[in-house]
Amino acid sequence: MALDKNGIAKRIAQELRDGYYVNLGIGIPTLVANYIPEGIEVEFQSENGILGMGPFPFEGEEDADLINAGKQTITARNGAVFFDSATSFAMIRGQHVQLTVLGAMEVAQNGDIANWKIPGKMVKGMGGAMDLVASADNIIVAMMHTNRAGESKLLKECTLPLTGVNCVSKVVTNLAVLEIRDNQFHLVERAPGVSVEEIQAATSGDLVIPDHVPEMNLD
Amino acid sequence: MNKVVKDVEQALEGVESGMTLMLGGFGLCGIPENSIAQLVKMGVSDLTCISNNAGVDDFGLGLLLQGKQIKKMISSYVGENDEFERQMLSGELEVDLIPQGSLAERCRAGGAGVPAFFTPAGFGTEIAEGKEVREYNGKPHILESALTADFAIVKAWKGDTEGNLIYKATARNFNPLMAMAGKITIAEVEELVPAGELDPNFIHTPGIFVQRIFQGEKFEKRIEQRTVRPKE
DSSP B167-206: --GGG-TTHHHHHHHEEEEEEEEEEEE-TTSS-GGG-SB-
pLDDT one-digit tens code per residue, B9-20: 999 999 999 999
Whole-number Å distance between alpha carbons of A189 and A215: 5
CA distance to partner chain B, nearest, from residue A21 (Å): 18
CA of B25 vs chain A CAs: smallest distance (Å): 10
Q: Are A32 and A5 in contact (CB under 8 A)?
A: no
Report how many Cβ contacts below 8 Å link chain A to chain B: 186
Judged by CB atoms closer than 8 Å, whether chains meet at B229 and A161 is answered as no
Q: In the predicted model, is pLDDT for residue A59 greater than 90?
A: yes
- Please check the confidence at residue B79 and state whether its pLDDT lies above 90: no
Going by pLDDT thresholds of 50, 70 and 90, the confidence category of residue B86 is: confident
Residues of A with catalytic function: 47
Query: pTM for this structure?
Result: 0.96
Give the residue-averaged pLDDT of A52-73: 95
Confidence of residue B175 (pLDDT cuts 50, 70, 90): very high
Nearest to B104 among A86, A122, A134 (CB): A86
Per-residue pLDDT averaged across B175-186, rounded? 98
**pLDDT band for position B131 (cuts 50, 70, 90):** very high
- Write the CB contacts of A113 (distance below 8 Å, at least 6 apart in sequence): A104, A106, A107, A133, A139, A141, A158, A162, A163, A164, A167, A168
Is pLDDT above 90 for A2?
yes
Residue B148 to residue B22: CA distance in whole angstroms: 8
Average pLDDT of every residue of chain B: 96
| pLDDT of B3 higher than 90 | yes
Residues of A in contact with B168 (CB under 8 A): 65
Q: Say whether B76 and A125 touch across the interface (CB within 8 A).
A: yes
Nearest partner of A29 among A52, A50, A9, A56, judged by Cα: A9
Do A185 and A178 touch, CB atoms closer than 8 A? yes
Q: Give the closest-approach CA distance of B46 to chain A in angstroms.
A: 22
Contact residues, chain A, for B229 at CB < 8 Å: 55-59
- Give the single-character DSSP code of B126: G
* Cα–Cα distance measured from residue B33 to residue B213, given in angstroms and rounded to the nearest whole number: 14
Give A19-51 pLDDT, tens digit per residue: 999 999 988 999 999 999 999 999 999 999 999
Look at residue B38 and tell me whether its pLDDT is greater than 80. Answer: yes
Position B220 scores a pLDDT of 97
Indicate the helix (H) or strand (E) that contains B216.
none
Decide the pairing of beta strands A50-54 and A75-82: antiparallel
Query: Are B79 and A162 in contact (CB < 8 Å)?
Result: no
Chain A residue whose CA is closest to B52: A127
Give phi and psi for A170, each to the nearest 5. Answer: -150, 145
Average pLDDT score over residue span A59-65 = 96
Question: B102 with B108: CB under 8 angstroms?
Answer: no
Amino acid letter, residue A29: P
User: Closest to B223 (Cβ–Cβ): which among A73, A76, A124?
Assistant: A73
For residue B152, the model assigns a pLDDT of: 98
CB–CB of A73 and B177 under 8 A?
Answer: no
- Does the pLDDT value for residue B91 go beyond 80? yes
Q: Is the pLDDT of residue A130 over 80?
A: yes
Are B99 and A124 in contact (CB < 8 Å)? no
- The confidence band for B231, taking pLDDT boundaries of 50, 70 and 90, is confident
Residue A178: other Cβ atoms inside 10 A: 27
Indicate whether this complex's ipTM tops 0.95: yes
> What DSSP string describes B3-60?
-B-SSHHHHTTT--TT-EEEE--BTTBT--HHHHHHHHHHT--SEEEE-S---BTTBT
For chain B, percent of residues with pLDDT exceeding 90: 93
The pLDDT of residue B80:
81
> CA of A74: which chain B residue's CA is closest?
B227
pLDDT in tens, A156-211: 999 999 999 999 999 999 999 999 999 999 999 999 999 999 999 999 999 999 99
User: Averaged over B16-32, what is the pLDDT?
Assistant: 98
**A71 has pLDDT over 90:** yes
Residue B221: partners with Cβ closer than 8 Å, 6 or more residues away: A64, A65, B28, B33
* Chain A neighbors of B91, CB-CB under 8 A: none
Contacts of A64 in chain B (CB under 8 A): 28-29, 171, 221-223
Residue A189, CA distances (Å) to A156, A170, A192, B16 in order: 20, 12, 9, 60
Q: Given pLDDT bands bounded at 50, 70 and 90, which one contains residue A17?
A: very high
Q: Are B61 and B79 in contact (CB under 8 A)?
A: no
